[in-house]
Amino acid sequence: MLVSLKQKKKLKPQKRISVKPVLVFRIAYKDQSLDKQAFDDEFSTNLLTAFLEKIDPNKRMFLNSDIQEFQKFSKTLDNEFKQGETKSAFIIYERYQQRIENRYTFIIDLFKANEFDFTIDETIPLDRDAWPADQKSSDDYWRKLAKTSIIENILGEEEKTQKEVADELVERYENYLKQIKLNKPEDIYENYITAVGSLFDPHTSYFTPINEEDFNIDMSLSLTGIGAELSLDKNITTISRLIENGPAQKSGLLQEEDQIIGVAQGNKDFVNI
Q: Lowest-pLDDT range, 31-45, 155-169, 220-234, 240-254? A: 220-234
- Identity of the amino acid at 147: K
271 pLDDT exceeds 90?
no
Q: What is the mean pLDDT of residues 46-64?
A: 95
Least confident range from 11-15, 94-98, 173-177, 179-183: namely: 11-15
Output the pLDDT for position 46: 95
Quote the pLDDT of residue 146: 97
Question: Could you read off the pLDDT of 75-118 as tens digits, one per residue?
Answer: 999 888 888 888 999 999 999 999 999 999 999 999 999 999 99
Q: What are phi and psi of 43, to 5 degrees?
A: -60, -45
CB burial class (10 A; 0-12, 13-18, 19+) of residue 69? Answer: middle
pLDDT average, residue stretch 180-197: 85
Residues contacting residue 195 through CB under 8 Å, at least 6 positions apart: 47, 50, 51, 53, 54
Q: Averaged over 153-166, what is the pLDDT?
A: 85
Question: How many whole angstroms separate alpha carbon 79 and alpha carbon 48?
Answer: 13
Average pLDDT over residues 174-200: 86
Is pTM beyond 0.75? Reply is no
Q: How far apart are CA 170 and CA 132, in angstroms?
A: 24
Q: Reduced to 3 DSSP states, what percent helix, strand and coil does the chain have, rounded to the nearest 5?
A: 55, 5, 35
- pLDDT over threshold 90, residue 221: no
pLDDT of residue 205 exceeding 60: no
Q: Are 124 and 143 spatial neighbours (Cβ–Cβ below 8 Å)?
A: no
Across the chain, what does the average pLDDT equal? 79
pLDDT above 90 as % of the chain: 42
